[in-house]
Amino acid sequence: MLMIDKVVSLDETKICAEKSLTGNEFFFQGHFPDNPIMPGVMIVEAVGQAGALIALLNEHFDGAQYILAFAGLERAKFKKMVRPGDTLRINVEIVKQRRNLYKFIGEACVGDSVVTQLSFSAAMTPKSRAV
């Protein structure tokens, strides 16, 4: 499931993307009833997808043959809740690339407030073949 609605800006090492949260997203239905918030794991997924987009859109790898999959997650901090009606702005930067391994820093914001910060790594991996 794609967690990004649009790319706001992109260069060789940085991306700014957005996700508008309507309240109809599946994860709001049970997290938490009568007090919906976006689960932290979904915020991390959105940040990870933005990181993969930097590499894909800058043609660091062939998206038809490879995926960029999480390899590690460090220093994730969740500072504020994200609720239906919010627009999540996602900023990610590639800080290092060596062979098939990428290191990123990222943050997610709502308005001027940082809601999540993290560092993560991802590995370029061949797409699995259907059996």
In this prediction, what percent of the chain has a pLDDT beyond 70?
Answer: 98
Look up the CATH architecture of domain 6-24+35-126. Answer: Roll (3.10)
9-57 pLDDT, tens digit per residue, is 999 999 999 999 999 999 998 778 789 999 999 999 999 999 999 999 9
Supply the pLDDT for residue 60.
84
Catalytic, out of 31, 37, 58, 117 = 31
Q: Is 61 helix (H, G, I), strand (E, B) or coil?
A: coil
Known active-site residue 60:
no
Query: What's the chain's average pLDDT?
Result: 93
What is the identity of the amino acid at 13? T
Place of tokens 């999480």: 70
Domain boundaries, the chain: 6-24+35-126
Percent helix, strand, coil in the chain, to 5, is 15, 45, 35
